[in-house]
Structure formats: structure tokens, C-alpha cells
Amino acid sequence: MNLLSTLSLLAEAGSLFFTPSNSVFAPEVDNLFDLIYWISAFFFVLIVAVMVYFVVMYRRRPGHSVQPSPSHNNVLEITWSVLPSFLLVLIFVMGFTGYMNIRTPPDDAYEIHVYAKKWSWLFQYPNGAESSDLHIPVGRPVRFILESEDVIHNMFVPAFRTKMDCVPGRYNEIWVLADHSTGTGIKDEDHEPTWLFCAEYCGRDHSNMKAKVFVHETGDFDAWVAKAANLYEGRTMAEVGELLYKRKGCISCHSIDGTRKSGPSFKGGFGTAHKMADGSEVVMDENYIRESIRDPRAKVVAGYEPVMPVFPSSRLSDKDITAISEFIKSLK
């Protein structure tokens, strides 16, 4: 992007200091920013003007000499200490009220769980849908419940004028009410999304830990979230299985390339016999996979600790397990 096109873009956008906003509390933040900006500009220009004027007027030159003037004046000094305090109190109070708006979600807000981890975002919607970009409805308060799985991250959406740390071991929350959509339709291509950044340094890919924010028209959002909850539409069983393998965390213990992790690798495992801790041999088939998910301790492969958690049907339906089996089957 070159300088000229940037300048013309800025002229259109109206302000050098703001990015377009998309939340009901943004105008209040921007107004306070503007107010502080003008107060600062006033004092800055005043100070620099006086300084330059003095330097020019009283510069050392032949024939010019110091003129007497008092070296203190309590009235003056107390005045210029006290008067600015009123402005500071004003700024403080406005900052405080704006903050309370940003931090106080309405009771009826739609809830989205945010899981931050190195180095990606996972958004989870009330109907069970999940996505790695953020989708929200326009005109409806949304509350985010923030969690982190490893180190501190921070969810920062410049257009919303809000950010909050995701701290491991505790829940933080923020909320937003977006005032316009980023496009119509449920396909990503129909939108001009804005950015969501991680704003708390979190290691190697900190600067790549970003997501897109889609704000949907109300009807569109319902359609999008329903479709997102239905993983099976438009995907083969094996593809769904792969998605589940990643999202549900199987990936952290079972490799698909033969590497040994805390559980056996899935590679080439289907249809072959495995030696169990109790000495028996079991062929890995659909039934064995299903049993291992629902009751992992029943048969433990020799050489591994019995550390796998139980996945009840609320976390993985029978259909999901079928998809996972198909996925494992596809790993020759």
C-alpha cells in the first residue's frame, strides 16, 4: 500500500487515529479519545509556542541581557497545579463511566465460549457449534467467556474497542453489541470481516494468532450457527472424523504418522492385532474403537499408561464415533 492511497483512505475514513468501529460503546470511547486529544493538543501547542517564543525573544545576543523577574510566585504556581486537576478529574470520570459500559454485559446476552491456546482461537456456540473465526449476530448483545489452555492470551477486537486477557485457571468475560453487519449471507466470501488479534505476548506464533470477525444479519446468523453445528453436511464421514480428532483433543495423545505419544499412533492400526497389558490380543475394529472411547480402561494396550479420559455421549455421539472410525480406517 503506498502513501497516497493510504492518505486518501484516511480522508475517507475520517480520522487518523481510529479504525472503523462496530460496537455500541465505541462512540463513547472515541469521544473520550477525541476530548483528551484536543486537551493534549491545546496544552502541547501552548507549551511549545511559549517555549519557541521565549527562545526567539530572549535569545542570547549582543546587547541583550537578562531582565529581572521573580523566581517564584505562589499564587501562579498553585493556580497552574490546581486548574489542570479539574480537567484530569473530568477525563477520569468519563473514562470510568465508559469502562463500566464496556465491562457490564446485559443479563440476556448470547453466550460464546472462547478458548485461547498457542496459537489459535476456538469459539464455541450454545448449540455446540465451533469455529476458529468469530461469528456473531448484529444488534444482539453477546457475552464472551474467556479461557486459556496454556499461557496468558488476550482477545482484542479493535473494531469493538475492547480487549481482555484469557488467563489460565480463571474465567474472564467481555461483551459486545455490534451495530452493523459485515455482509449478508452465510458464506465467508460475502463478508468484509474485521480482525481479532491476540494482544498478550504468548510465544512463537503470537503475531499469527489472529482470527476474523464476521457480524451476520440476524437471520443469517441463525442459519450459520445451525449449519456450523451440523458437521456432517457437505463432508464425508472420514473428513468429519478428522475434524473431531483435532477438535476433541485426540490429537494431543495419538499421532497419525506413527510417532509415539502418550497413546498409540492411529497410523495403520485399523484391522491389525494389538497386544494388551493383560497379555491378550485384540484386533482393532469399530467395536474396539467404540469401547476405547466410552470405557478406555477396559482394554489397555501394552506399554501405555491408562490415562485416556472417558468420552460420554454428550461429548461424542455414536455417529461421531463412526466418523472417527472411518477416519482411522483411512489412515493406511
Partner 1 sequence: MSVGATPDRFQAADVDGAHHREDNYLLASSGLGSWLVTLDHKRIGVMYLIGIMASFFLGGIFALVLRAELFTGQKLFLSEDAYNQMFTLHGAVMTFLFIIPSIPAALGNFMLPIMLGQKDVAFPRMNLASFYLWIIGAVFFLCAIVFGGLDTGWTFYTPYSITTSTRVILALLGVFVLGFSSIFTGLNFVVTINTMRPHGMSWFKMPLFLWALYATSIIQLLATPVLGITGLLLIAERALRIGIFDPELGGDPVLFQHFFWFYSHPAVYIMILPAMGIVSELVAVFSRKHIFGYRFIAYSSIAIALLGFLVWGHHMFVSGQSQLAAVVFSGLTFSVSIPSAIKVFNWLSTMYKGSISLATPMCYALSFIFLFTIGGLTGLFLGALSTDIQLHDTYFVVAHFHYVMMGGTLVAFVGGLYYWWPKMFGVMYNENAGRLFCLIVFLGFNLTFFPQFIMGSRGMPRRYARYVEEFQIYHQLSTMGAFLLGIGMVGAIAVLIYSLYRGKKAPANPWGAATLEWMCSSPPSLHNFEEPPAVGDPYNYDNLRYDEREGGYVVVPGAAKKTSSH
- Is the Cβ of residue 164 or residue 225 nearer to partner 1 in the bound state? 164
Q: Does 329 bind Cu ion (CB under 5 A)?
A: no
Q: How far apart are CA 154 and CA 328, in angstroms?
A: 35
Applying CB under 8 A, among 116, 136, 138, 162 the residue interacting with partner 1 is 162
| Interaction partner, residue 298 (Cu ion, partner 1, none; CB < 5-8 Å by kind) | none
On the question of a cis peptide bond just before residue 195, with omega within 30 degrees of 0, the verdict is no
Residue 194, burial from CB neighbour count under 10 angstroms (0-12, 13-18, 19+) = buried
Q: Does 24 bind partner 1 (CB under 8 A)?
A: no
Q: Does 183 bind partner 1 (CB under 8 A)?
A: no
How many other C-beta atoms are found inside a 10 Å radius of the C-beta of residue 269? 19
Applying CB under 8 A, among 12, 14, 75, 85 the residue interacting with partner 1 is 85
Applying CB under 8 A, among 117, 143, 163, 299 the residue interacting with partner 1 is 163
Give the nearest distance from C-beta 109 to partner 1 in angstroms.
18
State the cell numbers at 69.
523577574
Question: Could you tell me which stretch among 178-186, 191-199, 246-254, 274-282 binds Cu ion (CB under 5 A)?
Answer: 191-199
In this structure, which amino acid lies at residue 253? C
CA distances to 48, 54, 161 from 40, rounded to whole Å, are: 12, 21, 21
In this structure, which amino acid lies at residue 279? G
- Is the Cβ of residue 208 or residue 272 nearer to partner 1 in the bound state? 208
Strand positions, DSSP E, 217-302: 273-275, 281-283
Give the nearest distance from C-beta 143 to partner 1 in angstroms.
15
Return the DSSP state at 67. Answer: P
Applying CB under 8 A, among 65, 259, 272, 314 the residue interacting with partner 1 is 65
**Is the separation of the CB atoms in 289 and 299 below 8 Å?**
no
Q: Does 32 bind partner 1 (CB under 8 A)?
A: yes
Q: Does 38 bind partner 1 (CB under 8 A)?
A: no
> Segment 198-217, which members bind Cu ion (CB under 5 A)?
198, 202, 206, 209
